[in-house]
Structure 1
Amino acid sequence: MKNQSQGKWTSGLLLLFMIVPVIIAVFPLAALTMASFKPSTELMRYGLNVYPQFELWNLDNYVYLFTDGSIYFHWFKNSVLITFISTILALIFSSMVGYSLAMYRFKGQSIVLFLVLLIMMIPFEILMLPLFRMMIGLGFVNTYTGVILPMIIHPLAIFFFRQYALSLPNDLMDAARIDGCTEYGIFFRIMVPLMKPAYGAMGILLALFSWNNFLWPLVVLRTKEMLTLPIGLAGLLSPYGNNYDVLIAGSVLTVLPIIIVFIFAQKYFISSLAAGAVKG
């Protein structure tokens, strides 16, 4: 009986420790969602809170986002397009580089790995000026290409895929070579399916990074129609007026794509963490 009571107390404490972080994480999102349905006068008077006040709810903030000359839809489209293309390309190229660093032995391999780690430690603000001058020289200012191009090779993703590929069996590569499979065939037909958990986990992180990226698009993009959501929403706050009600409604819609990405990729994200725990 004593062991059973101790087990119940332990389970209760563990449940409490799990519930508290969930509440802390969900509270801002719940407050933000409720505030998006309230008029600006109530928002300025009481601020963000989790009191429903259903009698004050309306859809005026969301209607304004897509009407009255608002270009929120263009910002949303730009963010989706940039995030999708940059994430897919970064996963493809970074996984190929990480896989080659893990599975092949070539002259200068350690130097390449050192450079990857070195770039990871350099703040992006230091690289921003030479990258911007490069975009000017290539004529990619105020274009999707100018935003996407510097992001398709991500040093963190390269290192992540390298570490994951080190756990893959070399015997499969040898067997495939005996069967006449090319090196590209080994990668795309054998290794890529084995690295699905790594693709899922890194896909979430890269999509989140690209979706929330503010500084680099702010430097490259010029016209209002080309802006991404973080920049466009930040422009709603100015010395001449603060549209907090519209800003909050736009922020709620901005969170939805990342939640959708995580829902579809969470299985691979969790399995990659479990694989790392077992193999590490």
Structure 2
Amino acid sequence: MALKNRISSLLLYAALFIGALVSLFPFYWAVIASTNESGKVFAKPPVLLPGSKFIENVVNLNESIQIGRVMFNSLFVVIVFTALSLTICTMAGYAFAKFRFKGRDALFTTFLLSMMVPFHALIIPLFKMMAALDWLNTYQALILPNLAYPFAIFLMRQNMLAVPDAIMEAGRIDGVSEWGLFTRIILPSMKPALAATAIFLFMYQWNNFLWPLVAASTKDMYTLPVALSTLFGLSRIDYGQVMAGVTLATGPIIVFFLLLQRHFISGMLGTAVKE
């Protein structure tokens, strides 16, 4: 029996190792391609060893899309968006989970149903709204839409359902204000959920392409996905530049995830809580 369990464990670890290799290979290939010249990117057999062209590719990339400005735009937009959206969605989730008010369930259902509406259907009215406010080609237009993100509200609400109402009632009896309950009792117990939601919001905004493409009309306001798309023209494509840009674009996501990874799984598991 022990031998059977050992063999099962060995097969499981082998399958996980193979799965990890398959998952990581595209990123590894992108990093290797960013260190080689464009002609070697799709060479047969593929080049799997690093070259010496990374700095040259980054310099050429900077000449093409002003990578410093583009990275600043993306980081500024995603950091401000994540902070504001996390604040709004956390407070909304707290209200939906712990407050009793007329129409609460109907309003929450409306939020969930709004996730079924494709963003493409909202682009024209959203564009007209930004134009009326004279916010096109500004950071406000890139940041403010979708701050109250329905899935993030759902995620926080489900996690807050796990907090016993008795704890909050005890706090109220002791004279703690509602804001005090939220900041001193609820938030400290929500660190895993906050981390999971922050990762989701960060990745959503970092990879957002369609709306920044519509809202930003000049190169000095482009975010990284939009700027990288301009490298694909009708003439020759320098894939060394493209892969260097992809490598730089992936780095912040990996760093942000590694910083919060220990909270991520437990935060996601909190969504399994039922009323």
Under a length normalisation based on structure 2, what TM-score does the superposition of the two structures give? Answer: 0.94
**Where does residue 8 of structure 2 map in the other structure?**
10
The residue type equivalent to 1:8 in the other structure is R
Question: Equivalents in 2 of 1:171, 1:212: separation in Å?
Answer: 41
The residue type equivalent to 2:4 in the other structure is Q
The residue type equivalent to 1:9 in the other structure is I
Indicate if the aligned counterparts of 1:30 and 1:50 stay in contact, CA closer than 8 A. Answer: no
Q: Which of residues 56, 59, 69 is equivalent to 2:55?
A: 59
Shift of the alpha carbon at 1:43?
A: 2.5
Shift of the alpha carbon at 1:191?
A: 0.5
The residue type equivalent to 1:61 in the other structure is N
Indicate if the aligned counterparts of 2:193 and 2:263 stay in contact, CA closer than 8 A. Answer: yes
Shift of the alpha carbon at 1:276?
A: 5.1
**Where does residue 109 of structure 1 map in the other structure?**
104
**Where does residue 177 of structure 2 map in the other structure?**
182
SS at match of 1:180: coil
Counterparts of residues 111-130 of structure 1 (less than 5 Å) = 111-130=106-125
Shift of the alpha carbon at 1:63?
A: 2.7
Q: Any stretches of 5+ residues in structure 2 without a counterpart?
A: none
**Where does residue 141 of structure 1 map in the other structure?**
136
Q: Sort the Cα spacing of 1:10 and 1:145 in 2 relative to 1 into closer, same or farther, 3 A.
A: same
Regions of 4+ moved over 3 Å:
44-47, 273-277
Question: Equivalents in 1 of 2:258, 2:79: separation in Å?
Answer: 16
Question: Equivalents in 2 of 1:8, 1:61: separation in Å?
Answer: 48
Question: Equivalents in 1 of 2:220, 2:159: separation in Å?
Answer: 40
Indicate if the aligned counterparts of 2:90 and 2:156 stay in contact, CA closer than 8 A. Answer: yes
Identity %, equivalent residues: 37
**Where does residue 216 of structure 1 map in the other structure?**
211
Counterparts of residues 66-215 of structure 1 (less than 5 Å) = 66=62, 68=63, 70-215=65-210
Question: Equivalents in 1 of 2:226, 2:160: separation in Å?
Answer: 37
**Where does residue 26 of structure 1 map in the other structure?**
24
Indicate if the aligned counterparts of 1:99 and 1:165 stay in contact, CA closer than 8 A. Answer: yes
Q: Which of residues 246, 253, 264 is equivalent to 2:241?
A: 246
Question: Equivalents in 2 of 1:198, 1:209: separation in Å?
Answer: 16
SS at match of 1:200: helix
Indicate if the aligned counterparts of 2:138 and 2:216 stay in contact, CA closer than 8 A. Answer: yes
Indicate if the aligned counterparts of 2:69 and 2:220 stay in contact, CA closer than 8 A. Answer: yes
**Where does residue 270 of structure 1 map in the other structure?**
265
Q: Number of paired residues?
A: 274
Q: Any stretches of 5+ residues in structure 1 without a counterpart?
A: none
Under a length normalisation based on structure 1, what TM-score does the superposition of the two structures give? Answer: 0.92
The residue type equivalent to 1:212 in the other structure is N
Indicate if the aligned counterparts of 1:86 and 1:151 stay in contact, CA closer than 8 A. Answer: no
Indicate the larger mover: 254-263 or 109-118: 109-118
**1 or 2 for the larger relative contact order (CA 8 Å, sep ≥6)?**
2
Q: Sort the Cα spacing of 1:53 and 1:213 in 2 relative to 1 into closer, same or farther, 3 A.
A: closer
Deviations 1:17-44 (A, max 9, x none): 2112211111001111011111123235
Q: Which of residues 29, 37, 40 is equivalent to 2:38?
A: 40
Question: Equivalents in 2 of 1:150, 1:266: separation in Å?
Answer: 27
The residue type equivalent to 1:126 in the other structure is A
SS at match of 1:151: coil
Deviations 1:128-174 (A, max 9, x none): 21111111111110001001111211000111111111111112211
Q: Sort the Cα spacing of 1:45 and 1:18 in 2 relative to 1 into closer, same or farther, 3 A.
A: closer
The alignment's C-alpha RMSD in Å is 1.8
Shift of the alpha carbon at 1:260?
A: 0.5
Deviations 1:219-275 (A, max 9, x none): 101101100000000101101231211111011011000000001110110222455
Q: Sort the Cα spacing of 1:24 and 1:45 in 2 relative to 1 into closer, same or farther, 3 A.
A: closer
Question: Equivalents in 1 of 2:92, 2:131: separation in Å?
Answer: 27
Indicate if the aligned counterparts of 2:33 and 2:50 stay in contact, CA closer than 8 A. Answer: no
